[in-house]
Structure 1
């Protein structure tokens, strides 16, 4: 079971529908394909691991859409661990729409943990090896602590999901697993 996260789709004229995402995944031979909202989230049963799934799905979607579609993928067990490791338990419970997880396309730079978000506002960060937990108490939309700023600090590309989406994808993967898939 693999969770795929597309970066920067359905923003800035980069349109890619859930139907296109499902078709591309099925065209690669993935089974039990389920998408979540029209923002580039998919759970699939794939014959190979997360990195190969990310590469294959990214290539297929790039060919389909006509623009680069980076994909970050995690196995269901790795995603479950992301949920369990959340360092912002109070915020996750009380203010989940302001909590995000950034999934990186590989391990972050050793210097990432030294990055100080204070000059950008009240955001709080906890760096993990391949994820970042970021809490935006004043909201994400107007924050100066943007994904490009975080990517520069991480030395990696990534894609962010708010905590509600993180939990929804985790639940979807668990449902698929309970149903005998993956």
Structure 2
């Protein structure tokens, strides 16, 4: 039996840096023995099927393969379709009523406690808001991520030191759920 996964690569193909062509990435996943490989957009979203049930080892294997093939390390999270669906369904904001640019999801490599965010004066950023989920952070930014002061505050490296974090807009969240349906 195989499981459907999404690999979320952090910080590739942004501003012409750390280029990873999607065709080569798909080929790399196939060389690793994965099947039904497909990429979504150019920003590091690839779905695949694997008999493995170890998300951390799948991510580590892909990170090693990318470094060998492209000469640089890329932090990678691998999440099952079931996880992606559960996190999307648990969204505390009315996703169906919002524009996709207003809602973002940051996936974390491990659970994040509220204590890490205690220094954020959340009321000072209203109407922007965030909520923690299962290895995830939901961000409502009514004017979009590029204008969000809260997103800027949440991006401070000290907040999530030692944790891999990668953010996707809600359109991508929904598309990855669709692409990973068994």
TM-score by length of structure 2 reads 0.86
Q: Flag the 1:46–1:32 CA change in 2: closer, same or farther, 3 A.
A: same
Counterpart of 1:50 in structure 2 is 55
Describe the SS at the equivalent of 1:137.
coil
The correspondence for 1:153, drawn from 159, 163, 176, is: 159
* Number of positions where the alignment pairs a residue of Structure 1 with one of Structure 2: 174
Q: Does the 8 A contact of 1:10 with 1:16 survive in 2?
A: yes
1:93-136: CA deviations, max 9, x gaps? Answer: 32122211100011114513533345566421001230000011
1:24-54: CA deviations, max 9, x gaps? Answer: 1111100111111111101111222221111
Q: Does the 8 A contact of 2:11 with 2:18 survive in 1?
A: yes
Counterpart of 2:111 in structure 1 is 107
Q: Are residues 1:31 and 2:35 paired?
A: yes
> Which structure 2 residue ranges, 5 or more long, are not aligned?
none
Counterparts of 1:157 and 1:6 in 2: how far apart (Å)? Answer: 10
Q: Are residues 1:4 and 2:10 paired?
A: no
Counterpart of 1:75 in structure 2 is 80
Counterpart of 1:15 in structure 2 is 19
Q: Does the 8 A contact of 1:3 with 1:42 survive in 2?
A: yes
1:57 shift after superposition = 0.9
Q: Does the 8 A contact of 1:96 with 1:162 survive in 2?
A: yes
> Which structure 1 residue ranges, 5 or more long, are not aligned?
178-182
- Structure with greater helix share of residues: 1
Q: Does the 8 A contact of 2:80 with 2:180 survive in 1?
A: no
Describe the SS at the equivalent of 1:146.
helix
Q: Does the 8 A contact of 1:109 with 1:154 survive in 2?
A: no
Counterparts of 1:92 and 1:65 in 2: how far apart (Å)? Answer: 39
Q: Does the 8 A contact of 1:124 with 1:134 survive in 2?
A: yes
Counterparts of 1:146 and 1:15 in 2: how far apart (Å)? Answer: 25
Counterparts of 2:80 and 2:156 in 1: how far apart (Å)? Answer: 23
